[in-house]
Amino acid sequence: MVTFKLNGKTVQGDEGQYILQVAEKYGVDIPTLCHHKALEPAGMCRLCTVELFDGRRTRFVTACNYPIWEGMEVSTDSEMVHDGRKLIVEMLLSRCPEVPLIQNLAQGYGISEPRFKKEEDTCILCGLCTRVCERMGANAISLTGRGVEMKVDTPFGLNTEACLACGACASVCPTGHITLERVNQKHARIAAGLIPSEYDVGLNGRKAVYVPYAQAVPNTPVIDRDVCMHFKTGGCEICAEFCGVDAIDYTMEDEIVELDVGSIILAPGFEPFDPSAFDSYNYINHANVITSMEMERILSASGPFEGHLIRPSDHKEPKKIAWFQCVGSRDVNRCDNSYCSSVCCMYAIKEAVITKEHAGDDVDCAIFFMDMRTHGKDFERFYDKAREKEGVRFIRSRVHTIDSIPGSDDLSLKYVLDDGQMVTETFDMVVLSVGLQTPPEVVELAKKLDIELTAGNFCKTPTFDPVVTSRPGIFVCGAFQGPKDIPQAVVDSSAAAAAAGEILVSARHSNTKEKEVIPETNVINERPRIGVFVCRCGTNIAGVVNVPAVAEYAKSLPYVTYTTDNLYSCSQDTQEVMTAIIKKEKLNRVVVAACTPKTHEPLFQETLVNAGLNKYLFEMCNIRNQDSWVHKTTPDLATEKAKDLVRMAVSKVGLMEPLKETAFEVNQNALIIGGGVAGLTVAKSLGRQGYQTHIVEKGDRLGGQAEKLYRTADGETVKPKLRQLIDEITKNDNITIHLDTELTDVDGFVGNFKSTLSRNGSGNDDETVIEHGVAVIATGGKPYTPSEYHYGEDSRIMTSLMLDQKIMEGDSDLKNLDTAVFIQCVGSRQPDRPYCSRVCCTHSIDSALTLKEMNPDMNIYILYRDIRTYGEREYLYKEARDKGVIFIRYSLDAKPIVEVEDGQLDIELTDPILDRPVKISAGLLCLATAVIPNQDEKLARMFKVSVNDDGFFVERHAKLGPSEFATDGVYLCGLAHYPKPVDESVVQGRAVASRAVTLLAKDKIYTSGQVAETDPAICSACNVCVSVCPYGAPSLTPEDARFFPGTAEINPVLCKGCGLCVASCRSGAIHLKGFDNDQIFAQIFSLDQAVGL
């Protein structure tokens, strides 16, 4: 330690430190220009000059590179020093009068005009650039020339190969003299530029050391070895120097890890189609033609423009935006991706609606499309709303040219309307709705793994096993199985997990390690002994908040017996130290002031548990994410805030009590309601995994609607596969089938249901009660019975399923038909049933193809509104057109008119292209009827789950929880969720099995400690809590209960700890453990010493 005097105060620093470093530590400000923490000081700018008294005389030295010594006396702000600095600044201002940094400095010293002759330079010759260049190991630039001729340059002023265009010089230049453009012009032979951020699709730059995106897992930075200067020259190493925990190791190498596994799941995803190759879109040449991925980032609050909608070329707010659909999809001519990418219509509408939300209604959003494909759950409603309420324009046309408009950044679009009219319209910006495709490296991987691909390079899977690849043991999920949106991918992933689980069932629990349980210390009735740990988080917190002061302050708070500050509280060694401290100091409450409880609370709770404390005797306060990171310009106020937060946390934690996490046994049986394809698949998977499974089927046979289907989009005939499935179910001893049976009562909750089954028509005598841990609702759907198009009046008019029946029966009349007509959207996509039934387009087209196989000369017309053959179903659409099936579009306000007269069956409608009426005489009219759910309000009530306006059950989360309900332990699949083809029902059934197993695999489930509890002595039995709880946790005890009859009690298994009931309780009878009134009041009551007072 070296002791010396700084501005009259005695201070200490380490041997070898410079004055500036010690001054910084003691909060003494010394101005600098040529100083940079990462670089050796050079004393170039002289601005940090201070006065040094060595015992005999006074000298002036530069603080940045003058080492401290024992007994010296330094004065940083004497009059002489001030005058000296002022002169330096004045001279710099005359050299660089236009540099804002120097202007500000000058203003600070009260200089408005320099007394010297003004020059037009922008370089202050601080040498930061040359020093950083040297450090980068490039040595491309240096200070050349002497005296007034001195400047930063490359040898002989030539662009050189020594310059690696890393941009370090530009990043340290304090005046803006060196920019990347300057590097390109004067220094480098290779182009310098920002490293494009992959996450922001190149709209933003990133560093060579970076976290790929905010939600990345793991959330630790990586070094991009391709651009990192250390890996090019061996220089730099600045990051290693600054890392407080020595986490950077340049010697790490890629390693090959070998794993012994029983199954492989492929989830490699997709890549967005790259439109650069097509000059027609002008994507490469025009900054304002962007892809939908770029639009996503532009609209994102965490994106390059922070959610502010501006166009790339000039950062102007666009007023007219066009979306082009099917870029890289449904296109054989240019990109060979002839499939439909399934998701682009919906995301384009979403982007258009968000655009209007961000930028106001006066932004014109126009979507150019071929067929609008909003076949997902609740998607059609969104489309209707976008069109009718939000004013998004939908134009059915493929734009053929985008032209730049000379002298502006706008774009001119030419397109043709239905009636042949050519339109030219100007837009500010064009978004290309790019499709999904399998990346070439995944195609390579597939080859290596020897699995079969489809024509569109997706993984080939059978209809009745949609996650199973052609190679046993290898499963697939997500967009590699076929282009799909999030809910479908989530369903897939669960199903793939179940498929893997089925074959690995014998290995289950064979590799489990038991965790050592540390006995819990009893702290009840003990006086609180609170320990406060304040984290520095390196410099993340300590760089702004005065951490030692906060820790010191915490000491003064009531019941606090121990405080300290840690460099990194979350590091492994600190955790161990904390455990030791808790034990040694006999702490019984802990406060950690650090990053945020959202990410680190569980970790610190674990520390408590390891020290034998109940994990709820803990409170965390957020002094990083919500303090040091957001208030860096006001360190004093940030420190005050940190103290307040610590005080509030301390007062709360004193009132924390040890909470119990109650264990419940999980009944290992499953109950499935519905014996259709979806329900049977759940049973198959659970049965294979060894769980006792009951199928309850209302009807007298298994199979559901699949019984009536002829074949699937893949051309597989349904019957034999269905037989095979039913066979396996029947033979599996784990599965019990209850036919002609209905559910009459359900009691209990997750893990412990009790259901009463009743055989139809047999009265109350034949009731069985089944105990089960999970329940699956797979009640299916049925075809809508049309009330239009003369249905039921003529045997030639039939539904799709009736036609399938005829085909399966081998009806010879079909072959002799002269003309067949299909009408789409019968009962779907209309005001009383505003959803798309998803399956009917593919079904009709496949039926049309079957008829064509029977009789290639048959005239077949499909009357449609939008053809929705999503994914690789699109091939069928193309095949049908190739084989001469005629598609005629109609609109909702001009439906086809069917007439049955004198044995004639005539269908009349207006062809939009010819713009004239067409009359077709048909021998068969097939109505593609809507799929409607088997609505069951009673069942919904019994399981406390909800049903939407269309009668389909409502899942936990539309995107992330598609196969489960908000009620724990209850799942849904198949048509009860939404209309879907066989393969999607099968995959969702398997997904349900997977979700259910996550619960069944545990013998016990633990409730959270932070749940609500009633005090029956105060409860007034008003029933409000029962009605407000979204999870059905509270209930009233029976009137004949022995204690407190009729009062509310809360099931801790179902309680999610939201506190809604607590706030609504009029009697104050409900307490939320961990967030109880007295605890929150304690936080409020400790406010009164807060800032400003």
Partner 1 sequence: MSEWKPKIVAFLCNWCSYGAADLAGVSRMEYPPYIRVIRIPCAGRMDPKFALAALREGADGVWVSG
Partner 2 sequence: MAHMGVESERIHFSWVSSAESTKFVRVVNEVTEAVRALGPNRRFVKSHGLDRQSYDEKAA
Q: Which residues bind partner 1 (CB under 8 A)?
A: 214, 302, 596-599, 622, 624-627, 629-634, 637-638, 640-641, 644-645, 648, 1010, 1028, 1057-1060, 1062-1064, 1072, 1075, 1077, 1080-1081, 1083-1085, 1087-1088, 1090-1093
Q: Show the tokens assigned to 606.
A: 């674990």
Judged by DSSP in three states, 620 sits in strand
**Which residues fall within 8 angstroms of residue 895, CB to CB, at 6 or more apart?**
788, 909
Which residue lies nearer to partner 1 by CB, 624 or 796?
624
Q: What 3-state DSSP class applies to 438?
A: coil
Q: Which two tokens stand for residue 782?
A: 């049925």
Q: Please, which residue, 914 or 1093, has the CB nearer to partner 2?
A: 1093
R_g over Cα of the chain: 36
Phi, psi of 242 (to 5 degrees): -85, -20
Q: What SS3 state is found at 70? A: coil
Burial (CB < 10 A; 0-12, 13-18, 19+), residue 724, is exposed
Least Cβ distance, residue 302 to partner 2 (angstroms): 7
Query: d(Cα 197, Cα 918) in Å, to the nearest integer?
Result: 55
**3-state secondary structure labels for all residues of 806-818:** HHHHCCHHHHHCC
Question: In this structure, what token pair is assigned to residue 816?
Answer: 């002799």
What's the min distance (Å) between Cβ of 384 and partner 2? 24
* Nearest distance, CB of residue 1093 and partner 2, angstroms: 6
307 touches, from partner 1, partner 2, none (C-beta below 5 to 8 Å by class): partner 2
As measured in angstroms, the least distance from the Cβ of 640 to partner 1 is 8
- CA angle, 632 as apex, 629 and 635 as ends, to 5°? 120
- Shortest reach from residue 244's CB to partner 2, in Å: 26
Residue 611 site contact among partner 1, partner 2, none (CB < 5 to 8 Å, cut-off depends on kind)? none
Q: How far is the CB of 1059 from partner 1 (least distance, A)?
A: 3
Q: Answer yes or no whether residue 572 interacts with partner 2 by CB under 8 A.
A: no
763 vs 1092 by CB, closer to partner 2: 1092
CB of 298 to partner 2, least distance (A): 13
How many CB atoms are located within 10 Å of the residue 37 CB?
Answer: 10
Stretch near partner 2 under the rule CB under 8 A, chosen from 60-68, 300-308, 508-516, 851-859: 300-308
CA pair distance 719, 709, nearest whole angstrom? 8
DSSP letter (8 states) at residue 869? -
Shortest distance, CB of residue 962 to partner 2, whole angstroms?
20
User: CA-CA distance, 725 to 568, in Å (whole number)?
Assistant: 57
Decide: 34 and 88 in contact? Cβ < 8 Å. no
As a whole number of angstroms, the distance between CA 426 and CA 611 comes to 69
Instruction: Kindly tell me which residue out of 171, 276, 280, 302 binds partner 2, with binding defined by CB under 8 A.
Output: 302
* Nearest to partner 2 of 222, 1087 (CB atom): 1087
| DSSP letter string, 761-801 | TSGGGGEEEEEESEEEE---EEE---SSTTTTT-TTEEEHH
Cα→Cα distances 94→49, 98, 166, Å: 20, 9, 31
Q: Which does 744 bind (CB under 5 to 8 A by kind): partner 2, partner 1, none?
A: none
Alpha helix positions (H), 338-412: 344-359, 379-388
Helix 100-108 vs helix 79-95: crossing angle, to nearest 10: 150
Question: Is 904 or 1089 the residue whose CB approaches partner 2 more closely?
Answer: 1089
Helix (H) or strand (E) holding 104: helix 100-108
Pick what 673 binds: partner 1, partner 2, none; C-beta below 5 to 8 Å, kind-dependent: none
Alpha-helical runs (H) found in 439-485: 440-449
Q: For residue 619, how many other CB atoms are within 10 A of its CB? A: 28
Residue closer to partner 2 by CB (options 577, 1090) is 1090
C-alpha distances in angstroms, 484 versus 206, 269, 436, 852, 1011? 30, 10, 9, 30, 38
Closer by beta carbon to partner 1, 886 or else 1028: 1028
Q: Select from 97, 307, 635, 834 the one that contacts partner 2 (CB under 8 A).
A: 307
Least gap, CB of 300 to partner 2 (angstroms): 8
Beta carbon nearer to partner 1, 645 or 945:
645
Q: Where are the alpha helices (DSSP H) in 481-632?
A: 486-503, 547-555, 572-584, 597-610
**In 3-state terms, the chain is what percent helix, strand and coil (to 5)?**
30, 25, 45
Determine the interface stretch with partner 2 among 298-306, 323-331, 383-391, 1046-1054 (rule: CB under 8 A).
298-306
Q: Binding residue for partner 2 (CB under 8 A) from 148, 301, 422, 914?
A: 301
Residue 1087 contact among partner 1, partner 2, none, beta carbon within 5 to 8 Å by kind: partner 1
With CB under 5 to 8 Å by kind, the binding choice for 1083 among partner 2, partner 1, none is partner 1
| Shortest distance in whole angstroms from residue 601 CB to partner 1 | 10
Nearest residue (CB) to partner 2, 245 versus 960: 960
Interaction partner, residue 1063 (partner 1, partner 2, none; CB < 5-8 Å by kind): partner 1
Query: Applying CB under 8 A, does 1093 fall inside the site for partner 2?
Result: yes
Q: Does 633 bind partner 2 (CB under 8 A)?
A: no
Least Cβ distance, residue 306 to partner 2 (angstroms): 5
**Binding of partner 2 by 1089 (CB under 8 A):** yes
Output 178 or 1012, the one with its CB closest to partner 1: 1012
Q: Which does 645 bind (CB under 5 to 8 A by kind): partner 2, partner 1, none?
A: partner 1
d(CA 941, CA 989): 22
Shortest Å distance, C-beta 344 to partner 1: 28
Q: How far is the CB of 305 from partner 2 (least distance, A)?
A: 10
Q: Which is nearer to partner 2, 280 or 302 (CB)?
A: 302
User: How crowded is the C-beta side of 755, counted as CA atoms within 13 Å?
Assistant: 29
Output DSSP code: residue 143: E
Site residues for partner 2 per CB under 8 A: 301-302, 306-307, 1088-1089, 1092-1093
